[in-house]
């Protein structure tokens, strides 16, 4: 680690993650990039998650446990944002994990490129199968307008909607009071991203997958979201989505494409690359 290595704050909400959290935290502890603070936020878990978190805190001074009552993933991430001290923010889910040089990949792009957001491809894990996933075909630095034009083609793609394949500047988040919405019980990631895009100029696109996302049976989206909730959420999101395109003078000429957002279906599929050598865990 050198003086030029910026601090990265990694925010991990944990709720009943005893089956997977050790794998997640081990992948972070073993990162080639060392100047990190790991905010492990226990959101009122009822299993043995806290014991695992305490073990990592005891053994590595970069790991910090924050205990709180259960208020949901959005409020938990917001707690992490407020407590963070890093130059950059990275969000990781407790049942996922990172490739060994994930943080180094993000930091190198952030330090060498004139950009405020880094986005990468990712691995999607379903049982013992792993798929690659991305959307923007060329690795490059693109301006916000070009990024929005790509997003227009697939707004419900996980690539654009989630927070865990992205690297954010903490000062932009804090100075503009960007938070995860507590009013939405799904797509809150996408709303955070839409707000963040309002304050940036350029995006660095990295084609290398650095994150393993575990597709989980019985997730909230598949079990608890009804049509009424879906319509309400899309209406809220569309206002932010439309405002983004209006701010770049893209709305009028692309009104039909942009309004197709209402009919977009969330997708996280990709190309199968190999079979995973591990036992599947379930949330």
Inside any domain, residue 61: yes
Q: Mean pLDDT throughout 140-147? A: 96
**Residue 282, in any domain of the structure:** no
Residue 269 has pLDDT above 60, yes or no: no
199 within domain boundaries: yes
Q: What angle do CA 156, 162, 163 make, to 5 degrees?
A: 155
Among candidate residues 53, 58, 54, 57, the one with its CA nearest the CA of residue 24: 53
Among 113, 220, 206, 118, residue whose Cα is nearest residue 169: 118
Cα separation, 278 vs 280, in Å, equals 6
> Is residue 281 one of the residues assigned to a domain?
no
Is 136 within 8 Å of 118 (Cβ atoms)?
no
pLDDT digits (tens, 9 = 90+) for 204-232: 999 999 999 998 744 434 434 455 666 66
Is 192 inside a domain boundary?
Answer: yes
Asked if residue 38 has pLDDT above 50, the reply is yes
Q: Which residue has the higher pLDDT, 128 or 177?
A: 177
DSSP H/E element including 11: strand 8-14
- Determine phi and psi for 19, rounding to 5 degrees: -75, -20
Q: In this structure, what are the phi and psi dihedrals at residue 132, rounded to the nearest 5 degrees?
A: -90, 150
Average pLDDT on 83-93 reads: 98
Residue 181 has pLDDT above 80, yes or no: yes
> What mean pLDDT is predicted for residues 179-189?
76
Angle made by CA atoms 138, 142, 144, in degrees to the nearest 5: 130
**Residue 2 within a domain:** no
Q: How many domains does the chain have?
A: 1
pLDDT of residue 218: 41
Give the list of residues 6+ apart from residue 35 with CB closer than 8 angstroms, or none.
1, 5, 6, 7, 8
pLDDT grade for 274, boundaries at 50, 70 and 90: very low
Say if 143 falls within a structural domain.
Answer: yes
> CATH code at 61?
3.90.550.10
Sheet holding 140-143, edge to edge: 63-68, 36-43, 8-14, 88-91, 166-169, 117-120, 202-206, 140-143
Q: Integer distance in angstroms from the first to the last C-alpha of the chain?
A: 35
- 63-68 and 36-43 strand pairing: parallel
Range of the domain at 85: 8-275
Assigned domain for 283 exists: no
Confidence label for 196 from pLDDT (cuts 50, 70 and 90)? very high
Q: CA 161 to CA 168: how far, in whole Å?
A: 14
Residue 235: what pLDDT? Answer: 75
Q: What pLDDT does 76 receive?
A: 96
| Residues linked to residue 276 through DSSP beta bridges, in sequence order | none
Q: What is the pTM assigned to this prediction? A: 0.88
Kindly report, residue by residue over 95-123, the tens digit of the pLDDT. Answer: 999 999 999 999 999 998 889 999 999 99
Q: Which residue would you say has higher pLDDT here, 15 or 238?
A: 15
The 10 Å CB-count burial string (b at 16+, else e) for 182-221 is eebbbbbbbbbbbbbbeebeebbbbeebbbbbbebeeeee
């Amino acid at each position: 680690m050198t003086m030029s290595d910026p601090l990265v704050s990694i925010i991990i909400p944990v709720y009943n993650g005893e089956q997977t959290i050790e794998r997640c935290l081990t992948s972070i502890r073993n990162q080639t990039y060392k100047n990190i603070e790991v905010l492990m936020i226990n959101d009122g878990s009822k299993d043995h998650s806290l014991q695992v978190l305490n073990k990592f805190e005891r053994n590595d001074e970069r790991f910090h446990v924050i205990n709180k009552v259960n208020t949901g993933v959005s409020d938990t991430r917001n707690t992490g944002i407020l407590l963070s001290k890093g130059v950059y923010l990275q969000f990781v889910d407790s049942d996922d994990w990172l490739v060994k040089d994930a943080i180094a990949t993000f930091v190198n792009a952030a330090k060498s490129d004139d950009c405020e957001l880094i986005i990468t491809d990712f691995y999607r894990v379903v049982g013992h199968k792993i798929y690659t996933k991305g959307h923007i075909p060329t690795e490059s630095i693109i301006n916000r307008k070009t990024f929005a034009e790509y997003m227009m083609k697939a707004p419900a793609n996980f690539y654009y909607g989630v927070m865990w394949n992205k690297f954010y500047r903490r000062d932009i988040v804090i100075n503009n009071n960007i938070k995860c919405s507590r009013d939405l019980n799904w797509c809150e990631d996408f709303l955070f991203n839409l707000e963040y895009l309002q304050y940036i100029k350029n995006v660095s696109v990295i084609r290398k997958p650095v994150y393993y996302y575990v597709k989980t049976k019985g997730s909230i989206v598949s079990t608890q979201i009804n049509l009424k909730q879906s319509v309400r959420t899309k209406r809220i999101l569309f206002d932010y989505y439309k405002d983004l395109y209006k701010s770049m003078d893209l709305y009028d000429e692309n009104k039909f494409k942009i309004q197709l957002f209402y009919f977009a279906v969330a997708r996280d599929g990709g190309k199968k690359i190999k079979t995973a050598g591990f036992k599947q865990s379930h949330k």
